[in-house]
Amino acid sequence: MPQDPFSPLCRREILAGLAAFPLVAAWSADRVAAQTGAPAGSLLTDLGLLPEAVLLHPGPNAPPWEIAWGDPETCGALGLGAKGPFPSWSRFQTGFALDSLAAGFDGGWARTIGATAAQMRRFVTVAAPPVTGAILELVPAATMAVGPALAARGIAETTVQGVTAWARGEDNAISLALRYLADPFGGAIGKSSRVRLEGQRLIQASEWPLLAGLAGAAGPQGHADLAALCAALEDPAFAGARQVQAIVLTDQASLSAEPAGAGLLPWRLGIFVDLSDGKTDHTAAVFSYATRAEAEASARRLTAAWPDARSRMVESAFETRLPLKAIRVTGDTPAILTFHAHGENGGDPGFGNPSYRFLLQARQARDLAPFGL
C-alpha cells in the first residue's frame, strides 16, 4: 500500500543526535522479555530492536512512522503462500521491498546485496520519507555473502561516530548515478544506504542517525508496552495461531480523520496483526492503556459502536468485513484492549487474510471511526 506523504523534519529532530554515541551492545527483546516474564515471540523480538523514539507519539504536527513487520519463514512453514514465483511472500500487504520482490527470487538481490528473499526469515521496516530503514533476520550463513556483494559494487565500509557499515551516498540523498533496479535498498531511485551486519541480522538505513538507532548504538530501544501487547496475542482464543504480519500505530490523533473523542479513548501504542495456523485466520487490533479503567471504558465504547458502524469506503457495515469474535481487556499497568475478528476456514491460503487486508485498507483511507481512526 502506498505511503502517506509527509515531512521528515520531525524525524531529523528526534534522531539527529543518535549517531553521536559510541556503539554499544543492542538490547534484544529476548532480554526484555526475560525481565518482564512475557513471552518472547518473533514480533516482540523484532519490534524491541526499534529505537524508542520511533515507537513513541511523535508530538504535535509530527506525523508518525510507518512500521511494518512480516514473517516469511512462518508463512512458508504454515503453507500460506500462493502458487507462483513468490510463495511465502504472497500474503504480505506491507513490508520490505515488495515493489522489487521479483528481483529477490530471480537473483537480483543476490547480486546487489548478497541475500535472496528466500533467505530472509523475518523483516521489520520503518519509514518517514525520505528516511527509511529495515532490520532483516537472515537464515544461518546467509550474511557471509553480503559484504563481498556490496564490495563488488564499489561500496566500502565506513565508520561514523563509532558505527561501521557499508555505505553509499550522503544521508537520504538520491543519485541517478547510483541507480540499480535490482537493489532493494532504494536502488531503483539511487537512494543512499548504510548496511550493517550483527550476527544473522542485516540492519539497513538511508541515513547514519537511523542506522545508529536500529543498531542499538544510541538511546533506548523498544517500548514499555510491547511485552504486554504481544502477550495479549498469545490468548487461548487465538487457538495457537501464529503471528505472520503486522503494522504498528503510534499516535491515534495524527492518524485519525475523526473529531477528538470519537472512537476509542487515546491509547499509547497499537498493533494490527494477521494470525494463522495454516487453516484458520484471525485478525487482531491491540491497544495499550496506562490503566485498566481506560481500557475498559474504551472496550465499552467499541462494543456499543460496532453493531451499527458502517464503512464509508465500501458503503457497508464493518461487521461484514471484520466479523467480531470478541473484545477483551487484559492486564492492569499497562492494560490491553484486544479487538478479535473471526477467522476464515478453508479458504485459499494464497489469497491471504481478507479481514486483515480490509483493516489495513480502511486504516489507510482513515475509515475506522469505531477505533478513532
DSSP string, 231-257: HHTT-GGGTTPEEEEEEEE--HHHH--
**Dihedral through CA 340, CA 344, CA 348, CA 351, nearest 10?**
-30
CA atoms within 13 A on the CB side of 223: 26
How far apart CA 88 and CA 72 sit, in angstroms, is: 5
Provide the pLDDT for residue 15: 39
Give, for all 373 residues of the chain, the pLDDT tens digit: 333 333 333 333 333 333 333 333 333 334 333 333 333 389 999 999 999 999 998 777 777 899 999 999 999 999 998 777 788 899 999 999 999 999 999 999 999 999 999 999 999 999 999 999 999 999 988 999 999 999 999 999 999 989 999 999 999 999 988 888 899 998 889 899 999 999 999 999 999 999 999 999 988 999 999 999 999 999 999 999 999 999 999 977 666 666 655 689 999 999 999 999 999 999 999 999 999 999 999 999 999 999 999 999 988 999 999 999 999 999 999 999 999 998 765 556 566 899 999 999 999 998 999 998 8
pTM for the full predicted model:
0.87
CA distances from 32 to 29, 45, 143 (A): 5, 9, 26
Provide the pLDDT for residue 55: 95
CA atoms within 13 A on the CB side of 73: 12
Provide the pLDDT for residue 62: 73
DSSP string, 216-229: T-SS-BS-TTHHHH
Burial environment of residue 368 by CB neighbours within 10 A (0 to 12, 13 to 18, 19 or more): buried
Main-chain phi, psi angles of 167, to 5 degrees: -135, 145
Provide the pLDDT for residue 38: 33
Provide the pLDDT for residue 95: 95
Q: Quick one: which of 87, 69, 71 has its CA closest to 79?
A: 87
Provide the pLDDT for residue 347: 54
Cell numbers linked to 283: 485478525
How far apart CA 276 and CA 179 sit, in angstroms, is: 38
Tally Cβ neighbours within 10 Å of residue 61: 9
Provide the pLDDT for residue 253: 66
Provide the pLDDT for residue 85: 79
